[in-house]
Amino acid sequence: MAQFQLSGVRKSFDRTHVLKGIDLHIAEGEFISLVGPSGCGKSTLLRIIAGLEDQSEGSVRIGGDVVDGVRPADRNLAMVFQSYALYPHLTVYNNIAVPLRMRRLSTLQRAAVLRWLIPGTRETEDRIRSDVEDVAKLLGLKDLLQRKPAQLSGGQRQRVAVGRAIVREPRAFLLDEPLSNLDAKLRVHMRTEIAQLHRRLGATFIYVTHDQAEAMTMSDRIAVMMDGNIIQIGSPDDVYDDPQDLRVAEFIGSPKINILDGGVIDEARGLVFGSSRFAATFLERPGTSVRIGVRPEALRLANAENAPFSGRLAHKENLGAEVLLHVEIPDQRAAVIVRFDHGGAREISIGDAVGLTCSPEDLRIFGASGERIKAEVEARKVAHG
């Protein structure tokens, strides 16, 4: 187990800057997710931590030691690859045993023919066997130990890859989109399993994913990456409730946050949208035009005549446990989505005029370049907190 400290990590391939200065502290035993759209540099960052790639600038410390230039095998980290990277010629048993054999047996003891003649080989192999069997039992792989990877389903291969990582005691686990090759149902199931595994092992997990739902459901903290920068880092609730950037707000949460153009800050620092005014005090110059973000579950129905947001119902998605209304508001780029619990909004049908409102504290206001504009209440909270 170990903590990680990344300082000013940059990476360029030829002339493209993939990582543009990453500072990140990861605590011991923490489950942290690096989440962001594909191509934003998540895998590259993970590979730099693993030592599979060298950073162009900056440094990585693991457990207090600078590991720059330390080879991957000597960093004692375990990695689960997106493609699983199982050895196709080895059985499940041997795949899981590889990390133990590499560390516990000498080169001669691994040689094919004469290995059994060297003292200690048999005892070590016996210990390896019991360790591999423990892991197989934990992951439900006991009946598959003699199969080759080609004879396994995607989910089983994924388990073998996890087994190969947890069979020894590495300082941390690095997982690069381990669930993205599974079908939707299995993916949801494996989220729980991996989270439970983390609790059971108590080890540091660094988890890369482009799926915000995975990050939200499993992590202690989420680092949201865009274009080679970490633009926000915090607990799932933090990142969801208090996005520091429009891109974070739009990336985290499903259905996506509603973004409405056309808000203006007035003389009294309130927010004006059309003919309505929200009475919160925003810390921004009067006259600034802003974009208004509001989560689908924060919106409530109101009288269409005088509601701040009004439009027509274009579509209704009934998902069983929840109902999503798509309300088209004039002059807005996308339909506003409103979320109701099961049975909500029964009386509204397609084409009806719909009025929507929300409390001022549920508004997330963003400036022209996507930066968050704070409300005074929040600012005070921050100042006291």
Ligand X SMILES: Nc1ncnc2c1ncn2[C@@H]1O[C@H](COP(=O)(O)OP(=O)(O)O)[C@@H](O)[C@H]1O
For other proteins, the binding residues (CB under 8 A) are 50, 52, 71-74, 77-79, 81, 83, 85-90, 98-99, 102-103, 107, 110, 148, 150, 164
Does position 13 interact with ligand X (CB under 6 A)? The reply is yes
8, 23, 39, 315: which one binds ligand X (CB under 6 A) = 39
For the purposes of burial, counting CB atoms within 10 Å of the CB of 168, is it exposed (0-12), middle (13-18) or buried (19 or more)? middle
18, 175, 252, 259: which one binds ligand X (CB under 6 A) = 18
Q: Which stretch binds ligand X (CB under 6 A): 32-40, 157-165, 181-189, 344-352?
A: 32-40
For residues 298 and 44, what is the distance between their CA atoms, to the nearest angstrom? 37
Q: 43 or 258, CB closer to Mg ion?
A: 43
* Interface characters, 239-278, with ligand X (x: CB under 6 A): ----------------------------------------
How, if at all, do strands 322-328 and 336-341 pair? antiparallel
* Local structure of residue 283 (DSSP, 8 states): S
Q: 102 or 334, CB closer to other proteins?
A: 102
Task: Tell me how far, at minimum, the Cβ of 43 lies from Mg ion, in Å.
Answer: 3
Indicate which of other proteins, Mg ion, ligand X, none lies near residue 127 (CB less than 5 to 8 Å, by partner kind). Answer: none
Task: Tell me how far, at minimum, the Cβ of 264 lies from Mg ion, in Å.
Answer: 40
Touching Mg ion, residues 39-58 (CB under 5 A): 43
For the purposes of burial, counting CB atoms within 10 Å of the CB of 94, is it exposed (0-12), middle (13-18) or buried (19 or more)? middle
Does position 258 interact with Mg ion (CB under 5 A)? The reply is no
For residues 277 and 280, what is the distance between their CA atoms, to the nearest angstrom? 9
Task: Tell me how far, at minimum, the Cβ of 177 lies from Mg ion, in Å.
Answer: 6
Task: Tell me how far, at minimum, the Cβ of 237 lies from other proteins, in Å.
Answer: 33
Q: Which two tokens stand for residue 123?
A: 């005892």
Length reported for the chain: 385
Q: 37 or 72, CB closer to Mg ion?
A: 37
Task: Give the distance, in angstroms, between the CA of residue 180 and the centroid of all CA atoms in the same chain.
Answer: 12
- CA dihedral 147→150→156→159, nearest 10 degrees, is 90
Touching ligand X, residues 41-80 (CB under 6 A): 41-44
Q: Which two tokens stand for residue 308?
A: 């701040």
For residues 144 and 154, what is the distance between their CA atoms, to the nearest angstrom? 13
Angle of the 154-166 helix axis to the 184-201 helix axis, nearest 10: 10
* Local structure of residue 237 (DSSP, 8 states): H
Count of residues in contact with Mg ion, rule CB under 5 A: 1
Upper half-sphere CA count for residue 122 (Cβ side, 13 Å): 4
Indicate which of other proteins, ligand X, Mg ion, none lies near residue 232 (CB less than 5 to 8 Å, by partner kind). Answer: none
Instruction: Give the binding site for ligand X (CB under 6 A).
Output: 13, 18, 38-44
Instruction: Give the binding site for Mg ion (CB under 5 A).
Output: 43
